[in-house]
Amino acid sequence: MHNKNILYSSLIFIGACILFFPFLGSVNLFDWDEINFAECAREMVVTGNYSQVQINFQPFWEKPPLFIWMQAISMKLFGVNEFAARFPNALCGVFTLVILFQIGKKIYNEKFALIWVLTYAGSLLTFFYFKTGIIDPWFNLFIFLGIYFAILFTNNPDGDKNYRYLILSGAFIGLSVLTKGPVGLLLAGLTAGVYLLLKRFKNSGNIKHLAIFITSFCIVGLSWFIIEILKGNSKLVFEFINYQIRLLNTKDSGHGGFLLYHFVVLLIGCFPASIFFFTSFKKSESDTPFQLHFKKWMMILFWVVLILFTIVKTKIVHYSSMCWFPLTYLSTYGICKILEGERKIKSWPITLGIIISCLLGMVFFLIPLIDNFKSVLLNSNIIQDKFAKENLKANGEWLGFEWVLGLVFLILSAFYFIKLKNGKQQHVISLFILSLTTIFLASVFIIPKVERYVQGAAIDFYKQRKNEDCYLETAGFKSYAYLFYSNKKPEQNTPELLSFAKQIGEKEAKEGIYDPLISFARYNVIFICDNQLNKPAYIVVKCNESKEFLERYPDFKKIEEKNGFVFLKKLHITTTKSK
């Protein structure tokens, strides 16, 4: 039995490596989040300052440093590039699938564990995010492990307590806080609170249990914060806390959404697992007390995360990503009950599955054919935004066969759902294998081409400025790409620029309009446009704002315009001083 466990774990490890590591560097990093974190890691490597997170070589208090450290280590090993930025999450994907197998086997058996691995890896976003450079995969894994050990600790309320589980729970929740911030503790705390509330606080532990958890949590989760305070950087810590509070109470710029945003994200983004989630609600008499206990925690975790981020005004796809663990677990639970003949999937989830699979299949089918009908779109009034129209003019460099992927997915997924409706339950496994294969191939053949439309021209320009001693900024839109791809050096923030930024910042602070999260880049633009310069200066704007910019700053000349981006260079030194 032990050898069989090692064999399965090894096969999952090898399979995950094959899925997640190849082609990691085949596409540019995406603005904002991917490049944001990669740039923070690059600046750590450049400056040698590993204790504080920086962006544009200024303090960056949005995120704690653990994930940035992972990327910085990766960049020391593989160089500053896309592969290095994404390597930590690919590694997280490998660990996650092996951990899911081990946990699933402990709760049920090897069959359940293998299906859970397939369900998680074979869903759209759960797979794709292991191929990115954003924080959430590690953040979610740490929270899940923290809750898992809490589940083990609370599983035997009347018997002996294994305090090792409580210590591990606190440590992993602490790691989640070091990865992304206090929202890790919030999610775990709310989940545990709801569990205790439903239990009416019976056998809920004592002060000793709470003290053990808090001690473990603080040693790990608050270590960096305490060290920074002791070093005299308390301002950075307090600014970090203020940002987290603001994020929960306001709609972040460019990240709004409708009330049920995350319901739709999970339904489509976790397809096909989301379809089988609906089969998990009914209790089963064959479940053991531990299985019922684990399922209750997963239900609570799912709804706590979904409701919390439905309330939060900022809407970003990965905010609800902590739902992926309980959602795929509960989906696996329902799938296993279907395969065992204990229950049947109803007609309406199958119908919903066919609709979503057709929508996704059409997307995978039509995107590679975009160049065949882009002229129709450009000449019609369907697309009103000038910038979007110019984006569409990019050359995707399609190979010509990519549309087959969408067609095959559309036909086979509909076929498997119809078979399920006719009682051929074994086709549920075929459905997830199809989904996994499609997502993997799409990440190789479709996503890199799509990137060319949305940001390729801008990043090409930034790469041309690599290592050039110049000023470079974007105006009218937020970006981190120019920092990473131009390989900006700290000395490019000249003393004159820093002094100018400090002067304006102090003035705006007195007026109550200072926003430390976005101001420095804006000050750079003002400095470049209004002050005398002793080296080349470039501004990148979107095409629908270039005319107004050039009218306001006539000493700039358009040197190139491509796919919605206009690249401007300052022609001469202005004598106009900023007031």
Q: Are 567 and 556 in contact (CB under 8 A)?
A: no
Grouping H, G, I as helix, E, B as strand and the rest as coil, residue 558 is strand
Mean pLDDT for the stretch of residues 512-527: 76
Q: Which two tokens stand for residue 385?
A: 């935004």
Does the pLDDT of residue 518 top 80, yes or no? no
CA distance 411 to 428: 15
CA distance 245 to 335: 39
Question: What amino acid occupies position 400?
Answer: G
- Choose between 515 and 42: higher pLDDT: 42
Residue-wise pLDDT tens digits, 98-126: 999 999 999 999 999 999 999 999 999 99
Mean pLDDT for the stretch of residues 268-278: 94
What are the boundaries of each domain within the chain? 2-343, 355-454, 465-570
Handedness of CA 510, 514, 520, 522 (dihedral sign): negative
**Burial of 284 from C-beta contacts in 10 A (0-12 / 13-18 / 19+):** middle
CA distance 237 to 226: 9
Closest CA to 366 of 401, 406, 336, 331: 406
Residue 550 has what pLDDT?
92
CA distance 520 to 346: 55
Closest CA to 150 of 163, 167, 169: 169
Residue 577 has what pLDDT?
43
Residue-wise pLDDT tens digits, 145-177: 999 999 999 887 554 568 899 999 999 999 999
CA distance 472 to 102: 50
Residue 202 has what pLDDT?
64
Phi (first) and psi of residue 16, to 5 degrees: -65, -40
Mean pLDDT for the stretch of residues 333-349: 89
Q: Are 523 and 500 in contact (CB under 8 A)?
A: yes
Q: Are 366 and 150 in contact (CB under 8 A)?
A: no
Residue 130 has what pLDDT?
95
Question: What amino acid occupies position 453?
Answer: Y
Residue 557 has what pLDDT?
92
Find which of 95-99, 257-261, 279-283, 575-579 is predicted with most confidence, using mean pLDDT.
95-99
Residue 89 has what pLDDT?
97
pLDDT above 70 coverage of the chain, percent: 93
Residue-wise pLDDT tens digits, 369-414: 998 888 888 888 788 888 988 899 898 889 999 999 999 999 999 9
Q: At what angle do helices 207-221 and 183-198 cross, to 10 degrees?
A: 160
Residue 508 has what pLDDT?
75
The mean pLDDT of the chain is 89
Residue 351 has what pLDDT?
93
- Choose between 468 and 328: higher pLDDT: 328
Residue where the block lists tokens 């791809």 = 485
- Choose between 344 and 126: higher pLDDT: 126
Phi (first) and psi of residue 154, to 5 degrees: -90, 0
**Integer CA distances (angstroms), 492 to 81, 300, 498, in order:** 21, 50, 10
Residue 86 has what pLDDT?
97
Range with lowest mean pLDDT among 72-76, 239-243, 343-347? 239-243
Residue 516 has what pLDDT?
59
Residue 578 has what pLDDT?
39
- Choose between 336 and 161: higher pLDDT: 336
Closest CA to 472 of 459, 458, 462: 462
CA distance 403 to 366: 7
**Number of residues that this document lists for the chain:** 579
Grouping H, G, I as helix, E, B as strand and the rest as coil, residue 257 is coil
Residue 294 has what pLDDT?
95
Does the pLDDT of residue 205 top 80, yes or no? no
Does the pLDDT of residue 428 top 70, yes or no? yes
Range with lowest mean pLDDT among 13-27, 70-84, 509-523? 509-523
CA distance 119 to 139: 20
- Choose between 248 and 485: higher pLDDT: 485
Q: Which two tokens stand for residue 296?
A: 């209750």
Angle formed at CA 116 by CA 110 and CA 121, multiple of 5 degrees: 130
Does the pLDDT of residue 220 top 90, yes or no? yes
Range with lowest mean pLDDT among 110-119, 176-185, 259-268, 566-575? 566-575
Closest CA to 484 of 26, 46, 5: 46
Q: Are 142 and 173 in contact (CB under 8 A)?
A: yes
Which band of pLDDT confidence, cut at 50, 70 and 90, is reported for residue 505? Answer: confident
Mean pLDDT for the stretch of residues 446-459: 93
Angle formed at CA 354 by CA 450 and CA 131, multiple of 5 degrees: 35
Which band of pLDDT confidence, cut at 50, 70 and 90, is reported for residue 433? Answer: very high
Which band of pLDDT confidence, cut at 50, 70 and 90, is reported for residue 571? Answer: confident
Grouping H, G, I as helix, E, B as strand and the rest as coil, residue 26 is coil
Those residues whose C-beta lies under 8 Å from the C-beta of residue 374, and which sit 6 or more positions away, are: 392, 393
